[in-house]
């Protein structure tokens, strides 16, 4: 057999090995079988931009945004540590916030999101009640922020502000 054929066989074997490896990693992650459209990782891509909702003054980076077979987008949040009987309220609100960020950034309204604990995955429906609870919590946070004098900024890095979780409510941010 010529050298060229050996090279073709080698590349083919390598491609199969990589495919099997990625399937195994995907199974281990227990993510739903859906297309990943956003992933907060730099493992195989440039770190994606932070999602911003100007109206609600929210910024955030969901662990994953996935496109389901029906074409809808859903946020998936991976949680480590203890698996609770039911999802923690703070985690449900965080997921709802990602739902609204998807709505602002992708012009699609997610119907639900997934909270991925080590032992169990919970589906969290984005009900009007949960959305109202989030808006109320954001208002509470903003009110508390107005009662506390913000410390002076300790840096001059606009990149740092762009990726900061407090950007939406910080008066010292560099735009």
Nearest approach, Cβ of 90 to ligand SF4 (angstroms)?
20
Of 117, 46, 49, 57, give the one whose Cα is nearest residue 86: 117
Query: Interface with ligand SF4 includes 153 (CB under 6 A)?
Result: yes
- Angle between helix 128-147 and 89-106 (nearest 10): 100
Select from 48, 50, 172, 175 the one that contacts ligand SF4 (CB under 6 A): 172
| Residue 61 binds ligand SF4 (CB under 6 A) | no
Residues 157 and 175: their CA atoms lie apart, in Å, by 10
* Residue 141, token pair as written in the block: 């946070």
- Separation CA 143–CA 38 (nearest Å): 32
Based on the shown chain and the rule CB under 6 A, indicate whether residue 166 belongs to the binding site for ligand SF4: yes
Q: Which stretch binds ligand SF4 (CB under 6 A): 15-23, 28-36, 94-102, 157-165?
A: 157-165
Q: Figure out which of the listed residues 36, 52, 78, 161 binds ligand SF4, where binding follows CB under 6 A.
A: 161
67 binds ligand SF4, rule: CB under 6 A: no
For the record, the structure tokens of 29 come out as 């992650």
C-alpha 135/C-alpha 133 separation (Å) is 6
Q: Which stretch binds ligand SF4 (CB under 6 A): 33-41, 69-77, 83-91, 159-167?
A: 159-167
- Using CB under 6 A as the binding rule, whether residue 160 contacts ligand SF4 is answered as yes
How many amino acids of this chain bind ligand SF4 (CB under 6 A)?
9
Query: Tokens in use for 84?
Result: 């609770």
d(CA 123, CA 160): 33
Binding site for ligand SF4 (CB under 6 A): 153, 160-161, 164, 166-167, 170, 172-173
């Amino acid at each position: 057999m010529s050298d060229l054929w050996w090279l073709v066989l080698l590349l083919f074997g390598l491609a199969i090995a990589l495919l099997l490896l990625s399937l195994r990693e995907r199974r281990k992650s227990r993510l739903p079988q859906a297309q990943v459209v956003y992933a907060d990782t730099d493992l195989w891509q440039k770190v994606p931009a932070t999602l911003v909702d100007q109206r609600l003054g929210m910024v955030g980076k969901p662990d994953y945004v996935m496109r389901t077979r029906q074409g809808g987008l859903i946020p998936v949040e991976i949680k480590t540590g203890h698996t609770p009987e039911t999802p923690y309220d703070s985690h449900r609100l965080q997921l709802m916030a990602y739902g609204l960020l998807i709505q602002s950034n992708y012009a699609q309204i997610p119907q639900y999101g997934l909270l991925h604990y080590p032992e169990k995955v919970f589906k969290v429906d984005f009900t009007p009640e949960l959305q109202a609870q989030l808006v109320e919590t954001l208002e509470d946070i903003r009110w508390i922020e107005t009662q506390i004098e913000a410390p002076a900024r300790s840096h001059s890095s606009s990149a740092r502000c762009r990726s900061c979780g407090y950007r939406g409510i910080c008066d010292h941010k560099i735009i």
